[in-house]
Amino acid sequence: MPQEKDGIFYHLGKNVKLGRDVKIWHFAYVGDGADIGDNVSIGSLAHVDYKTVVGSGTRIAGMAYIPPLSVIGRNVFIGPAAVLTNDRYPMSSRLEGVTVEDEAVIGARSVIVSGVKIGRRAVVAMGSVVTKDVPPETVVMGVPAKPAYNRAEYDRKKNEWEKHLE
């Protein structure tokens, strides 16, 4: 049912569980039976479909699509316009979600194929197409996505990048 809070309009389905301090931005959609943890942010025009679980501290950027039956861990970042899918052979009668484990990062415009598991603290580079499971602590990139380096190297590069802000 359409909701409005502080001038922000969004759709909240039936039987949705919302944790504390959840922020849902303009025109976002949260489907029936979704379970959203504490301190979650769902960006403008994002679509979090039915029977989806989103862990606490997760940020879903604008225009992202999270399909039914997906499980998103805690403190995950899903970038703008990222698409998780739920049907390997559209329009089949079998649907399966995507699993994204704690502290993973999914870059902007990435596509994750149904049934894939993104491991804990893994990183999917922007624009990647992920067709296979991603091991924990691994950075993947490309089409199709392939391992490029580990999370420690990603964090080092990120920290170096952030130093230039000062």
Please give the full DSSP string across 5-60, using - where no structure is assigned.
ETTEEEEE-TT-EE-TT-EE-TT-EE-TT-EE-TT-EE-TT-EE-TT-EE-TT-EE
Per-residue pLDDT of 69-124, as tens digits, reads 999 999 999 999 999 999 988 889 999 999 999 999 999 999 999 999 999 999 99
CA distance 138 to 90: 29
User: Contact, 130 vs 118, CB < 8 A?
Assistant: yes
Please tell me the pTM assigned to this model.
Answer: 0.93
Domain ranges across the chain? 2-163
- Work out the pLDDT band at 37, boundaries 50, 70, 90: very high
Q: Look at residue 1 and tell me whether its pLDDT is greater than 90.
A: no
142/11: higher pLDDT: 142
Per-residue pLDDT of 128-150, as tens digits, reads 999 999 999 999 999 999 999 99
pLDDT attached to residue 84: 98
What would the CATH number be for the domain defined by 2-163? 2.160.10.10
Segment 21-40 shows an average pLDDT of 95
- Work out the pLDDT band at 7, boundaries 50, 70, 90: confident
Q: Look at residue 2 and tell me whether its pLDDT is greater than 90.
A: no
